[in-house]
Amino acid sequence: MNLHEYQGKELLNSFGVRIQRGIVADNHKKAVEAAKQLATETGTGWWVVKAQIHAGGRGKGGGVKLAKSLEEVASISESIIGMMLKTPQTPPQGKKVHQVLIAEDVYYPGDNEPEEYYMSVLLNRGTGRNMIMYSTEGGMDIEAVAEKTPHLIFTEDIDPLLGIQAFQARKIAFNLGLSGNALKEMIKFVTSLYTAFVNSDASLFEINPVLKTSDDKILAVDSKVVIDDNALYRHKNLAALRDLREENDIEVEAHAAGLNYVDLDGNVGCMVNGAGLAMSTMDLIKQSGGEPANFLDVGGTADAKRVETAFRIILKDDNVKAILVNIFGGIVRCDRVAQGVIDAYKNMGDAIKVPIIVRLQGTNAVEAKQLIDESGLDVISATEFQEAADKVQQVLAN
Ligand code: GDP
Ligand code: MN
């Protein structure tokens, strides 16, 4: 589950990580109130207005703007709230902005220039340990840094039993070129950041930029926080932060129905049992020249009710021009699935407007094929995997 920037920062701050402070607002009047309150609390005279959507690259897309007066806070907030913000990480049409974070300006002038670093905490799948990834090249696209100047990205693996050690935090601060007070601040920053990561069962923290202010404070200007869904049951306070407006409607509905569904961009709807078979089905569709519209694992009980729910969910996507049902009957018998498909089809009447190709293999596959073939419905049966994919291409070509 993804958190908004402001939620992530509050989480970090509750573990002692210094942050750029801010107050969230969902209209421009509240934005001005927030700005006034921040001015009282922090002494700031300039503010940044930051669109809160679940996507990065907001700055480039015009979703992060500096305001030098309360009038500018109002006008900038008014223009950002309600806009469809397009960034390299949003869908092509953008994402609607429902709220802005009014944050203190932390790039104020002083003895030194402010400096931006990159820092993330994530699982190193190679070593099976959490690692801290960091770089002096903050503020920009870390993928570009990784491509052009990979030697500027450092990693530090953390022993799961020992946690982050003092020498590791110091090494990170040194590698970032820090000294004096900034070095001390960075040690505290990294240590509390790692503690926050472990204690919130996060799967990703990405802080870009981490800022060294002109007076040598170290703080998080941005936050991308992803919490492991499987751990949410023991973090009720974090689970409550879920913002369904940010999520794909069809995925939310599928999840509520207990289906494992991921929306994709193609035109071939897939209904499959088992994640592995679902992946190979998507591969085969692509190899045959098609594009999967979704990943959908209906799980072990592909009965009529479930098959119908799955059809309804797949058909909510207007891009779907054909549906491929690919079920392997191991524990679940193919003839039962076939009956499920037939019943669901009959129940749904005119709701099904696209051709359906069904491939059932395994227990009672012969009986299943016979059921489908004799049903008189507009359902095309196939026995082999490749044959099914070819039939999908044929119906799409017509
Ligand atoms: P992102 O574009 O979605 O990654 O959003 P960020 O929170 O990282 O903000 C984008 C950029 O806005 C940062 O890299 C900074 O350059 C700039 N920015 C953020 N906070 C401030 C601030 O307090 N003052 C100024 N002048 N710029 C800021
Ligand atoms: Mn950022």
Distance 63 CA to ligand 1 centre (A): 10
CA distance 72 to 47: 9
Distance 312 CA to ligand 1 centre (A): 42
Inform me whether the pLDDT recorded for 364 exceeds 80: yes
Among the bound ligands, the one closest to the CA of 118 = 2
Of 12, 54, 64, the one to substitute when testing ligand 1's pocket (max ligand atoms within 8 A of C-beta) is: 64
Distance 62 CA to ligand 1 centre (A): 11
CA distance 386 to 398: 19
DSSP state of 296: E
Mean of the per-residue pLDDT values for the chain?
A: 94
Active site residue 206: yes
- pLDDT tens, 274-305? 899 999 999 999 999 999 999 999 887 777 78
- Name the closest-CA residue to atom 15, ligand 1: 139
| Cβ of residue 105 lying under 6 Å from some atom of ligand 1 | yes
| Cβ of residue 48 lying under 6 Å from some atom of ligand 1 | yes
Options 5, 104, 116, 206, the catalytic residue: 206
Residue in 249, 281, 246 with CA at minimum distance from that of residue 386? 281
Inform me whether the pLDDT recorded for 233 exceeds 90: yes
- pLDDT tens, 369-392? 999 999 988 889 998 999 999 999
> What pLDDT is attached to residue 106?
98
Among the bound ligands, the one closest to the CA of 102 = 1
Would you put residue 343 in left (φ > 0), alpha (ψ -120 to 50) or beta? alpha
Distance 211 CA to ligand 2 centre (A): 11
Residue in 161, 158, 42 with CA at minimum distance from that of residue 171? 158
CA distance 210 to 136: 10
| Cβ of residue 221 lying under 6 Å from some atom of ligand 1 | yes
> What pLDDT is attached to residue 208?
97
Atom of ligand 1 nearest to the CA of 55: 3
Q: What is the mean pLDDT of residues 235-258?
A: 92
Inform me whether the pLDDT recorded for 329 exceeds 90: no
Count of other CB atoms within 10 angstroms of residue 99: 21
Q: Residue 42: CB partners within 8 Å, gap ≥ 6?
A: 21, 104
- pLDDT tens, 144-203? 999 999 999 999 999 999 999 999 999 999 999 999 999 999 999 999 999 999 999 999
Beta bridge mates, 64:
50
Task: Name the residue with higher pLDDT: 317 or 350.
Answer: 317
* Amino acid residing at 390: D
Inform me whether the pLDDT recorded for 140 exceeds 80: no
> What pLDDT is attached to residue 398?
82
Options 6, 118, 194, 345, the catalytic residue: 118
| Cβ of residue 365 lying under 6 Å from some atom of ligand 1 | no
Atom of ligand 1 nearest to the CA of 106: 23
Q: Catalogue all structural domains in the chain, each as residue range(s) with its CATH number.
A: 1-19+108-247 (3.30.470.20), 21-105 (3.30.1490.20), 248-397 (3.40.50.261)
- Could you tell me the CA-to-CA distances from 324 to 222, 309, 352, 361, 396 in Å, in that order? 42, 15, 13, 14, 12
CA distance 254 to 246: 15
* pLDDT-derived band at 249, boundaries 50, 70, 90: confident
Share of the chain above pLDDT 70, in %: 100
CA distance 125 to 247: 27
> What pLDDT is attached to residue 150?
94
- Name the closest-CA residue to atom 10, ligand 1: 59
Active site residue 5: no
Min mean pLDDT across 60-74, 215-229, 335-349 is at 335-349
| Cβ of residue 139 lying under 6 Å from some atom of ligand 1 | yes
| Cβ of residue 57 lying under 6 Å from some atom of ligand 1 | yes
Residue in 203, 182, 208 with CA at minimum distance from that of residue 20? 208
Min mean pLDDT across 15-24, 123-132, 174-183, 290-299 is at 290-299
> Which backbone phi and psi does 232 adopt, to 5 degrees?
-65, -25
Count of other CB atoms within 10 angstroms of residue 276: 11
- Could you tell me the CA-to-CA distances from 58 to 65, 88, 117, 279 in Å, in that order? 10, 9, 18, 32
Atom of ligand 1 nearest to the CA of 139: 14
Atom of ligand 1 nearest to the CA of 61: 2
Q: What is the mean pLDDT of residues 208-213?
A: 98
pTM reported for the whole predicted model: 0.86
> What pLDDT is attached to residue 306?
87
